[in-house]
Homo-oligomer: A and B are copies of this chain.
Amino acid sequence: MLWQSIRNSPPRANASACVSGGSAVTWALVTARIEEVAERAGVAVSTVSRALRDVPGVSLATRQRIKDIAAEVGYLASPNAARLATGVTGTVAVVVPDAAKWFFGQVISGAGAVLRASGRDVLLYELGDAEGRRRFFEGKTLRGRADAVLVLSLRLSTEETQSLRTLGLPVVLLGQGSEVFGSVRVDDRAAARSAVRHLLNLGHRRIGLIGIDDADEVTTGSTPPLSRLAGYRQSLLAAGIPLEEDLEQFGTNSVSGGELAMTRLLSAPALPTAVFVGSDEMAFGALGVLRTAGMTVPRDISVIGFDNHDLSQVMDLTTIDQNIRGQGEAAAELLLETLSTALGTAPPDRIIDTRLVLRRSTAPPADIPTSSKKEET
Residues of B within 8 A of A100 (CB): 105-106, 108-110, 325
Binds B, one of A26-34, A228-236, A242-250: A26-34
Quick one: which of A1-43 are within 8 Å of B by CB? 1-4, 6-8, 10-11, 14, 19, 21-24, 27-29, 31
The minimal Cβ–Cβ distance linking A247 to chain B, given in whole angstroms, is 23
State whether A28 touches B311 (Cβ < 8 A): no
Digitize A78-117: 1 where CB-to-B-CB distance is under 8 Å, 0 elsewhere. 1111011011110100100011111011101110110010
State whether A84 touches B78 (Cβ < 8 A): yes
Known: A7-B343, A24-B341, A344-B4. A313 touches B255 (CB 8 A): yes
Q: Which of B79, B108, B281 contacts A145 (CB 8 A)?
A: B79
State whether A102 touches B102 (Cβ < 8 A): yes
Residues of B within 8 A of A344 (CB): 3-4
Known: A6-B180, A78-B84, A255-B313. A11 touches B165 (CB 8 A): yes
Known: A24-B341, A344-B4. A10 touches B168 (CB 8 A): yes
How many Å lie between the Cα of A80 and that of B80 in the bound state? Answer: 6
Residue A238 at the chain B interface, CB threshold 8 Å:
no
Binds B, one of A122-130, A151-159, A192-200: A122-130
Q: Which of B2, B86, B109 contacts A21 (CB 8 A)?
A: B86
Residues of B within 8 A of A145 (CB): 79, 121
How many Å lie between the Cα of A156 and that of B158 in the bound state? Answer: 47
Residue A44 at the chain B interface, CB threshold 8 Å:
no
Q: Which of B14, B110, B255 contacts A310 (CB 8 A)?
A: B255
Q: Which of B88, B110, B315 contacts A22 (CB 8 A)?
A: B88
Residues of B within 8 A of A121 (CB): 123, 145
Residues of B within 8 A of A293 (CB): none
State whether B340 touches A22 (Cβ < 8 A): yes
How many Å lie between the Cα of A249 and that of B369 in the bound state? Answer: 48
Cβ contacts A to B, 23 pairs, < 8 Å: A1-B345, A3-B182, A3-B345, A11-B165, A19-B86, A21-B86, A24-B340, A27-B168, A31-B143, A84-B84, A94-B124, A98-B109, A100-B105, A100-B110, A101-B105, A104-B105, A105-B105, A112-B124, A116-B128, A255-B310, A255-B314, A288-B316, A311-B311
- Residues of A whose CB lies within 8 Å of any CB of B are 1-4, 6-8, 10-11, 14, 19, 21-24, 27-29, 31, 74, 76, 78-81, 83-84, 86-89, 91, 94, 98-102, 104-106, 108-110, 112-113, 116, 121-126, 128, 132, 140, 143-145, 165-168, 170, 179-180, 182, 255, 259, 281, 284-285, 287-288, 310-311, 313-316, 325, 339-347
